[in-house]
Structure 1
Amino acid sequence: MLKRFLLVCVFFLLVSCSKNEQPVIAFYYWKTIFKLSQTEKNILEVNKVNKLYIRYFDIGLQEQTKDPIPISPIRFEEKANNFTIVPVIFVQNKVMLNSNLDIEALAQKSIRLVNQINEFNKITVQEIQIDCDWTLNSRDNYLKFIERFKQLSHKKLSATIRLHQVKYFKKTKIPNVDSGVLMYYNMGSIAPDSSNSIYDQKAAEKYLKSLKKYPLNLDAALPIFSWGVHIRNQKVVGLRSKVNVSELKKDSNFEQAGALFFKVKHSNYKNGIFYEEKDLLKIEAVSADDLKQIAKELDENLARTPKEIIFYDLDEFNLKNYEKNIFEQVISCF
């Protein structure tokens, strides 16, 4: 009888663990107009995605007065009622560096704009997320802003957390939010060498052991974007988004110079950018194997299994680089 009872207990324990272990799939939506393409809709449907983190607006500084201003608020061209929406406010770090920042006014105006967007589009939200790569110099203003925003919004509040903020949290401090999202990308330096600044396993290893010590519950954001690093005379002159590698291979103005690099054969304009002869374009991307490796690293090093894995970002250009079931494959690693 006792043996049977123990077996039943073990069974229910295993069932409960299996139900809690695997995260759910969510996406960031980082465009100024909300309108889903058919490809984007298909991916959301196939992966049973119910939650979108939508960038509502940036907060930057007005050039002359240096006052905080909203930049490019989102415009909804179709309804988002089928999803749980989390508005994301991206706050430029230079805003928090302003020693004369009126934190009370900024919190009030930010919440007011979120509410206006929601009311106009008939959206109800339970959570708001603040995205800011704060530093030691901007820390105090940022933490005060988070405190006041939470008090005024009466919503669940989450914040993005960078790897350096995890490793040095005793200095950078921990924002008073309900949960954090670990941004597991952009961990290396953008350089003319062969390293990948989006995901670099060696760079990641410097931070992994710190994850278990971080006191805040963390979900994770994983990269599915790519870009081209434009190099001239061994110096980085800019980042080029949405570089189509297939088009580059067909373009007579470029020639492939290794697995990652394209060399400019003839000076030309492409997508509004001038490329000088002998310039290099380094393609930085995250492969399906990289994503699964990231998931394994996080599974082994986070203090608890994330409730959500949020992929950055939902865009047809990004999605076409992966199989439809890659997202299921990634969360199955937890």
Structure 2
Amino acid sequence: MIKKSFLIFFVFLLTACSKNDKPIIAFYYWKTVFKLSETEKEVLKDNNVEKLYIRYFDVGLNPKTTEPIPVSPIHFQGNVSKFDIVPVVFIQNKVMLKSNINVDDLAKKTFRLVNEINVKNNIVCSEIQIDCDWTLASKENYLRFIERFKKLSHKKLSATIRLHQVKYFKRTKIPNVDSGVLMYYNMGTIAPDSINSIYNHQIAEKYLKSLKKYPLHLDIALPIYSWAIHIRNQKVIGLRSKLNVAQLKKDNNFEQINSIFFKVKKSNYKNGFFYEEGDMLKIEPIAAEDLKMMGEELNENLADTPKEIIFYDLDEFNLKNYEKNIFEQVVSCF
């Protein structure tokens, strides 16, 4: 009887432990040259990060021939031997929208280039990720591409999933992959109004209830970047990366109007872009409190616990906006 009771307790203990397993912390790396700064190395070490999702190249269309081509393949200047590397290929949706696209040929060429980059840099990977915001019009080509790529690679295959693809999965369909990564950002429209297009709780609520019904396991990607929306005459003329409130406060060419809006006082060039007197910049940041709110609302609505929380993206500019233990705090929400 004692042995039986102990066995029941032991099984219960194992079950409890498995339920309480926290997701690991991982990062996306989205530059064209892989070279970690000291700050980036420190964050990876402090958070015991062993896995990096590295953008290998984009797939776009040749403007002259409209044929698919690789865009800006990555160059490695740093050692990645201590990390589990997941190559990520971003495929522009316009590629999949081509009615006469040769999906088999595209899959072969995409896998070949991933493999060439791996061989050149002595990287052995067990997983590849395909990133594409496919639509109803492009889904057939995309789903066929995934099928073909999976057969070619013989590796674990993951795919990025957007909120609209979760909510309307019966129409958008589910790619034949081993797991998905929910991109929990870029929710709103890029516009001159005050709503943050990267994350907005009210917009998120329209999709959250759908998560429990989604049949594919989802890991989570969360944003740690910010950008500025460049506005002229109440019209958006572009997105400006690597700009934040602290930077603009120090620049006499810009006047702070409120917590997120700056006005150009004097025409000037900044970071390679021209700002005309009277232009507006709308800063869209992601605060630590936003990240924790994301973690809490996702935890309440996901069908199962994610194995990974992947932060987008690993960049010294982004990392300096957060306290040292923010990533552990967010993961503890799950």
Residue-pair matches, total = 332
- Unmatched 5+ stretches in structure 2: none
Letter aligned with residue 310 of structure 1: I
1:45 lines up with 2:45 in the alignment = yes
Q: Matched residues in 1 for 2:157 and 2:307: separation?
A: 16
Aligned to 2:254: 254
Normalised by the length of structure 1, the TM-score is: 0.97
SS of residue matched to 1:110:
helix
Q: Matched residues in 2 for 1:128 and 1:77: separation?
A: 21
Per-residue CA deviation, residues 27-52 of structure 1 (Å, 9 max, x unaligned), is 00000000000000000000000000
Change (3 A) 1:16 1:181: closer
Aligned to 2:268: 268
Change (3 A) 1:8 1:272: closer
Cα deviation for residue 14 of structure 1 reads 2.6
Letter aligned with residue 49 of structure 1: V
Change (3 A) 1:195 1:124: same
Per-residue CA deviation, residues 161-187 of structure 1 (Å, 9 max, x unaligned), is 000000000110000000000000000
Cα deviation for residue 16 of structure 1 reads 3.4
More off after superposition, 111-120 vs 247-256: 247-256
Aligned to 2:16: 14
Per-residue CA deviation, residues 201-243 of structure 1 (Å, 9 max, x unaligned), is 0000000000000010000000000000011111111100000
Aligned to 1:132: 132
Q: Matched residues in 2 for 1:15 and 1:209: separation?
A: 27
Aligned to 2:282: 282
Percent of matched pairs sharing the same residue = 70
Aligned to 1:123: 123
SS of residue matched to 1:304:
coil
Q: Matched residues in 1 for 2:52 and 2:11: separation?
A: 37
Cα deviation for residue 252 of structure 1 reads 1.5
| C-alpha contact (below 8 Å) 2:218/2:306 kept by paired residues | yes
SS of residue matched to 1:129:
strand
Q: How does 1:195-214 map to 2 (within 5 A)?
A: 195-214=195-214
Aligned to 2:226: 226
Q: How does 1:1-334 map to 2 (within 5 A)?
A: 5=6, 10-18=12-20, 20=21, 22-334=22-334
Letter aligned with residue 279 of structure 1: D
Per-residue CA deviation, residues 59-113 of structure 1 (Å, 9 max, x unaligned), is 0000111100000101001121100000000000000000110111101111110
SS of residue matched to 2:297:
helix
Q: Matched residues in 2 for 1:268 and 1:158: separation?
A: 44
Over the residues paired in the alignment, what is the CA RMSD in angstroms? 1.3
Per-residue CA deviation, residues 288-321 of structure 1 (Å, 9 max, x unaligned), is 0000000001100000000000000000000000
More off after superposition, 32-41 vs 238-247: 238-247
Q: Matched residues in 1 for 2:72 and 2:13: separation?
A: 52
Normalised by the length of structure 2, the TM-score is: 0.97
Per-residue CA deviation, residues 262-288 of structure 1 (Å, 9 max, x unaligned), is 011111111221111111100001100
- Would you identify which runs of 4 or more consecutive aligned residues in structure 1 move more than 6 Å? none
SS of residue matched to 2:113:
helix
- Unmatched 5+ stretches in structure 1: none
Q: Matched residues in 2 for 1:57 and 1:13: separation?
A: 41
SS of residue matched to 1:45:
helix
Cα deviation for residue 9 of structure 1 reads 5.0
